């Protein structure tokens, strides 16, 4: 048994957000027992509050966010990792912007600030949740498993990817405040050198540089040196500790992850929540068809020759979907579009992405019997030609959903190669409007 913990005096961290490049200031304050961790957007009217839990977790590309009632804070994982790693339970976190400062790309600045503020026990025991039955979440070659056992949280991570220019890395750690602060917190975020241009093109990484983000290629890291020989896998564990804090501040489990990232970590958080509440696990993603063309016709208003999705093979609530379009020489547009050298029109790839996004959005309960009408197209790129015989894999990931509008990131790939992408904005209308 341990007691709940908070800090004895305020701690402040100020800096630039890694994704937005915008400056913000975070002020962390003590909170009473059973208060949990709550963010307050001090820059917004009414200073809305966002509690940290599985219900406020929001998936964003390559980062973790929390959101409630139109208020949002992005890139919270490094701060939450510090809070969870130091076994803190009750805090008020005031922030005057949309994104937590990135610091040096690790949790170390947050750990230093919180430790300097003084960590104190409170006068009430802290309950814990021990994983009862194994929970397994997988997505392609990524997997993450929560296993019963142990007195606290242990994380094992294997970083092994054919695109990585280094040997596989593996690390296992029992997360205690002392070990986390020494072995995990200093590990910095990273990306591959061949990803940099694409991320910047998508509008990400505006606050990144070679000092707060390790740029990795076959020769090592650019303009920097590693703090640990296996710093990259340690940072992946850091991210898991931060993401898991959304499931509760005191977990007893052994987490085993292979190539996992924030999206699949969040799915594990939701499954842990379901187990805590005594609910049945969510249906596991199937490798085959989840929506066939008959079911798609019930959702979308489009009909031949303008229905451009053959089936949906993955659905994650209203957050993410994957669809398939098999491109054949019998497509009607090939009769007039480069008939001697048939190429699928780029605008139809965009339309296919928009249709999948519409199918995804209309699964949201309050959008039932409504239409998702395309409002704008941003950051659109057509990268490679699509020809008869190709299978178009279409992916849609909801970035932001409001009462009347929604932003969705979409892309198409063929054989794993990116052929097109766009950020789409939709207006949500009543079906009779």
Helix H or strand E encompassing 235? helix 231-244
Mean pLDDT of the region 22-46: 97
> Which two structure tokens, joined as six digits, stand for 332?
């009607």
pLDDT band (50, 70, 90) for residue 365: very low
Instruction: Kindly tell me the number of DSSP H helices and DSSP E strands found in the chain.
Output: 8, 25
Q: Give the pairing type, strands 142-147 and 135-139.
A: antiparallel
pTM, entire model = 0.68
How far is the CA of 255 from the CAs of 76, 172, 202, 251, in angstroms?
20, 9, 32, 10
Helix (H, G, I), strand (E, B) or coil at 70: coil
Q: Pick 6 or 278 by higher pLDDT.
A: 6
Domain ranges of the chain: 2-125, 129-276, 293-430
Rounded to whole angstroms, the Cα distance separating 224 from 194 reads: 17
* Mean pLDDT of the residues in the chain: 90
The region of weakest confidence among 162-166, 231-235, 251-255, 298-302 is 162-166
The dihedral sign for the CA sequence 51, 54, 55, 56: positive
Q: Count Cβ atoms below 10 Å from residue 194 Cβ, excluding itself.
A: 12
- Reported as a single tens digit per residue, the pLDDT across 239-267 is 999 999 999 989 999 999 999 999 999 99
| Residue listed under structure tokens 């966002």 | 50
Burial degree of 182 (CB within 10 A; 0-12, 13-18, 19+): exposed
Q: Count Cβ atoms below 10 Å from residue 380 Cβ, excluding itself.
A: 16
- Reported as a single tens digit per residue, the pLDDT across 192-209 is 888 888 888 877 899 999
- Is residue 86 predicted with pLDDT exceeding 70? yes
pLDDT band (50, 70, 90) for residue 431: low
- Reported as a single tens digit per residue, the pLDDT across 50-76 is 999 999 998 788 899 999 998 999 999
| Residue listed under structure tokens 């800096």 | 15
Q: Which of 254, 262, 266, 407 is catalytic?
A: 262
Rounded to whole angstroms, the Cα distance separating 62 from 213 reads: 13
Alpha helices in 28-75 (DSSP H): none
Task: Give exposure, 279-312, as e/b (b: 16+ Cβ within 10 Å).
Answer: eeeeeebeeeebbeeeebeebbebeeeebbbbbb
Rounded to whole angstroms, the Cα distance separating 380 from 354 reads: 12
Mean pLDDT of the region 146-173: 86
- What pLDDT is stored for residue 287 in this prediction? 44
Work out the percent of the chain whose per-residue pLDDT is above 90: 66
Q: Count of alpha carbons within 13 Å of 341, Cβ hemisphere only?
A: 1
Given a contact cutoff of 8 angstroms between Cβ atoms, the answer to whether 333 and 348 are in contact is yes
203: left (phi over 0), alpha (psi -120 to 50) or beta: left
pLDDT band (50, 70, 90) for residue 97: very high
- Is residue 367 predicted with pLDDT exceeding 70? no
In 3D space, the residue among 343, 355, 275 whose CA is nearest the CA of residue 310 turns out to be 355
Catalytic: 337?
A: yes
Catalytic: 407?
A: no
Superfamily of 293-430 according to CATH: Hotdog Thioesterase (3.10.129.10)
pLDDT band (50, 70, 90) for residue 340: confident
Q: Count Cβ atoms below 10 Å from residue 170 Cβ, excluding itself.
A: 12
Given 3.30.1700.10, 3.90.1140.10, 3.90.78.10, 1.10.10.10, which CATH number is that of 129-276? Answer: 3.30.1700.10
Rounded to whole angstroms, the Cα distance separating 191 from 44 reads: 32
| 2-125 CATH | 3.30.230.20
Task: Give exposure, 27-46, as e/b (b: 16+ Cβ within 10 Å).
Answer: bbbbbebebbbbbbbeeeee
Mean pLDDT of the region 118-132: 95
Rounded to whole angstroms, the Cα distance separating 246 from 200 reads: 28
Rounded to whole angstroms, the Cα distance separating 123 from 89 reads: 12
């Amino acid at each position: 048994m341990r007691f709940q913990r908070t800090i004895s005096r305020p701690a402040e961290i100020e800096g630039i957000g890694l994704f937005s490049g915008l400056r913000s200031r975070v002020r962390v304050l003590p909170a009473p027992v059973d208060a949990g961790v709550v963010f307050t957007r001090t820059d917004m009217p009414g200073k809305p509050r966002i509690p940290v839990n599985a219900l406020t977790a929001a998936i964003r590309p390559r980062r973790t966010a929390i959101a409630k009632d139109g208020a949002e804070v992005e890139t919270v994982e490094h701060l939450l990792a510090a809070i969870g790693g130091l076994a803190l339970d009750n805090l008020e976190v005031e922030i005057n912007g949309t994104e937590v400062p990135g610091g040096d790309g690790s949790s170390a600045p947050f750990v230093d600030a919180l430790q300097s503020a003084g960590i104190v026990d409170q006068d009430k025991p802290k309950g814990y949740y021990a994983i009862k039955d194994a929970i397994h979440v997988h997505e392609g070659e990524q997997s993450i498993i929560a296993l019963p056992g142990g007195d606290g949280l242990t994380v094992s991570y294997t970083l092994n990817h054919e695109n990585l220019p280094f040997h596989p890395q593996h690390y296992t750690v029992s997360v205690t405040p002392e070990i986390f602060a020494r072995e995990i917190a200093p590990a910095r975020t990273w990306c591959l050198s061949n990803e940099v241009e694409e991320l910047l093109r998508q509008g990400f990484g505006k606050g990144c540089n070679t000092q707060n983000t390790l740029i990795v290629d076959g020769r090592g890291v650019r303009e920097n040196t590693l703090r640990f020989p296996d710093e990259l896998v340690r940072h992946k564990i850091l991210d898991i500790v931060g993401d898991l804090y959304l499931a509760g501040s005191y977990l007893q489990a052994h987490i085993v992850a292979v190539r996992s990232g924030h999206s699949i970590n969040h799915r594990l958080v939701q499954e842990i929540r379901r187990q805590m509440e005594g609910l049945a696990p969510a249906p596991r993603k199937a490798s085959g068809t989840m929506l066939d063309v008959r079911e798609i016709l019930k959702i979308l208003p489009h009909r031949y020759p303008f229905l451009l999705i053959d089936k949906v093979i993955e659905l994650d609530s209203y957050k993410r979907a994957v669809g398939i379009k098999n491109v054949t020489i019998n497509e009607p547009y090939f009769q007039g579009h480069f008939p001697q050298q048939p190429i699928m029109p780029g605008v139809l790839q965009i339309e296919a992405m928009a249709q999948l996004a519409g199918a995804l959005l209309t699964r949201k309960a309050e959008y039932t019997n409504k239409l998702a009408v395309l409002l704008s197209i941003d950051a659109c790129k057509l990268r490679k030609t699509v020809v008869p015989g190709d299978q178009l894999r279409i992916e849609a990931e909801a970035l932001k959903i409001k009462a009347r509008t929604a932003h969705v990131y979409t892309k198409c790939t063929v054989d794993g190669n990116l052929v097109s992408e766009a950020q789409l904005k939709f207006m949500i209308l009543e079906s009779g409007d």
